[in-house]
Structures are given as C-alpha cells and as structure tokens.
Amino acid sequence: MSTSAVLAILGMGVATYLTRLSGFYLLRGFNVSGPMKAALDALPPAVLMAVIAPVILTTGWAESIAAAITAVAAFFRLPLTVTIIIGIVSVVLLRMVLTA
Amino acid sequence: MNPARRDFLTGLSQVAPVVVAYIPIGLLWGTLAAAKGLSALEALMMSVIVFAGSAQFVAVDMWQDPVPVLLLTFTALIINVRHVLMSASLSRHVEAIPRAWHPLVAYFLVDESWALAERRVLETPLTLAYYLGITVPLAATWWISTGVGAMLGRALGDPSALGLDFAFSAMFIAILMGFWKGPSTAGVLAASGAVAAGTHLAFDGPWYIVAGGLAGAVYAFVTWRREEAA
C-alpha cells in the first residue's frame, strides 16, 4: 500500500467528515424563528429536488416521464419499495421504447 | 416489543430497497478502483474512511500515479459541500439522540440516510435506534460490495441496463412527495429545480445541489411574510 494512497484516502475522509459534522455546529446557539425557520424547513425538499433535477429535467424523456410516474405512485402513498420498483420498471421500459 | 427494537426494525424495513440498489453500484465502484490500480485493501479503506459514493467515483476517475493527494482531498470537499446543508438541517431534529452520539450520526450521514431521516422527522422524533436501523445496513453494504468488487476486479456490466441507476432518483422522488405542504412547496421546488438544472447545464461538478438547495431556502425566506398574512 503506497503512502500517498493512504494520505489521499485520509484527506478525503477528513474533508468529507468535516462537511457532515459542521452542520451540527452551524446553528448551535441560534434561536431559529420566522423567515429563517421557513428557509431551514424548506431545505430538505429543496435539496432533494436539486439532487434529482439533472436526472429528471435534463437527461431525457424516459427519465422525465419515469419521474412523473414515480411521483404519482408516491402521491398515492404506495410503500417506498413499491414506488422505487415502479420507477425502475418505468425507466427500463421507457428507455426501450424511446430508443427503439 | 421495546421501542428501540421497534424503531430499529422500522428503519431496516424502510432502507431495504436502498440497500439492494447499493450492491451493484458498490460492485461497480470496486471494479473501477481495481482497474485504476487500487488494491482491495485500499478500496475497502476508502469506503470505510470516506464512505461517500459520488466522491469515491470521482476520486477513482482522477486516480493516477503519483496520487494527487491535495487535489483529491479538495475535490472530496467540493463534492460533499452539500452535506453541510444536510447536516445543518438534520441537526435541528436530533434532540432525542444523546449528544455523544452526534459524531457517529455525522459519519453515517449520506444522501440516502439523510433523506430517510428527514422524512421520518415529519412523523415522529428521530431516535438513535431508527437512525442506526437505516445507516448500519447502508454502510455495511457499501463496504462489502465495494470490497468484493475490488477483489473481483473486473467489470460486471452497466447498472443502468437494469435501471438501477434510477433507483436513487425514484427513492428521492418518493421521499420528496412526503414534504408536500401545498402551493408554498411548489414554489420552493420550482426555484430549486430550475436553479439546479440550470447550474448543472452551465457548470461542471456538483455545484447544482448546493445552488438548488439554497435557491429553495431563499424562496421560502423571501415569501415567508406574505404567507403569514394569508
């Protein structure tokens, strides 16, 4: 095992862990209310939307349509596993149809 | 059944489909790492110490001899900046978890565990048992599948052929629907989605997640007063 490989792994590990830990201290001592609370409450859906935006908006029709089907399945409160399977089956079928 | 055991099992059942989707991705990463010259031990070390899928894929892509230590470190930092937003958000919901465990909660914070934990908070306080129920299987699956992939050392095929690349998007969509609170949510999602997609098209790299997340939060901040009056 090379020293530089170990150093790179440790460096990446420390950098990654700092991003995951820092949030726990950012808001400490702040009394979060009003518009700031609204902004923080909006973070989970906003970040989730940002994570999936390239796949569902800029990849292709198969992914966009499969995303809409998945959202409908989730809207009807199907179990998470079922919703994911519906999404996967949709995207596979749509990719076959749309690239054929 | 005692509450901790019940929470742990609930976490296990909710994370199960994600665990299944981790396996081919982990195997794929392991084979790519081996092809770039990482030993199985180095690959396993990276999965345990870094434990970050997208950063690890980029790192293997950039891997060369001599290993660019500082560049890889900085790249991991950039790719994972989104975790600052995620951990800041989750830190508001960890009152039921003893503070001594928070460093471990942070270690296990990946996109998938964060999304499930935030979804859980909408219904019931987040307990350590539930969090471990979702994160321990995820981490163990990642370590084992990447290690096995590196030992096999040859490509096993493209996960996108089976649609498994879409499993994570499908899970995030499903979880996202749980945050729907009416028209105000639509505005947050529109702001986030538009800014993230635009950023993704305009800039290389993972900036789109932070940009979209902040855009949604800013929208909520700016529109707060009007909603209060309505």
Q: How far apart are the first and last CA of chain A?
A: 47
Average pLDDT over residues B126-145: 98
> Residue A20: which pLDDT band, with cuts at 50, 70 and 90?
very high
Mutate to test the interface with B, among A61, A80, A93 (most CBs of B within 10 A): A80
Residue B64 is predicted with a pLDDT of 87
3-state secondary structure of A4: helix
Cα B156 to Cα B23, B27, B95, B136, distances in angstroms: 12, 8, 43, 25
Last residue of a domain, one of B140, B161, B178: B178
B221 and B143: one domain? no
Last residue of a domain, one of B161, B178, B195: B178
- The A residues from 15 to 74 touching B (CB cutoff 8 Å) are 15-28, 32, 34-36, 38-58, 63, 66-67, 70-71, 73-74
B201 and B135: one domain? no
Question: Is A45's CB within 8 Å of B211's CB?
Answer: no
Say what percent of chain B tops pLDDT 70.
94
Tell me how far apart the alpha carbons of residues B81 and B213 are, in angstroms, rounded to a whole number.
11
Continuous segment of H or E residues that includes residue B51: none
Which comes out higher in pLDDT, residue B59 or B206? B59
Residue B230 is predicted with a pLDDT of 45
Residue B155 is predicted with a pLDDT of 59
Domain ranges of chain A: 44-99
**What's the total number of domains in chain B?**
2
State how far residue B176 is from chain A, nearest Cα, in angstroms: 6
Which comes out higher in pLDDT, residue B111 or A80? B111
Q: Which of A1, A5, A52 sits opposite B172 (nearest CB)?
A: A52
B189 and B119: one domain? no
Q: Which of B91, B213, B224 sits opposite A38 (nearest CB)?
A: B224
B127 and B193: one domain? no
pLDDT digits (tens, 9 = 90+) for B161-202: 677 778 888 988 998 988 888 888 999 999 999 999 999 999
Task: Indicate whether B53 pLDDT > 80.
Answer: yes
Residue B184 is predicted with a pLDDT of 86
Q: Which domain holds residue B190?
A: 180-230
pLDDT digits (tens, 9 = 90+) for A47-91: 999 999 998 998 999 999 999 999 999 989 888 888 989 999 999
B130 and B147: one domain? yes
B29 and B72: one domain? yes
Highest mean pLDDT: which range of B10-24, B25-39, B128-142: B128-142
DSSP B189-203: HHHHHHHHHHHHHHS
B115 and B24: one domain? yes
Last residue of a domain, one of B159, B178, B197: B178
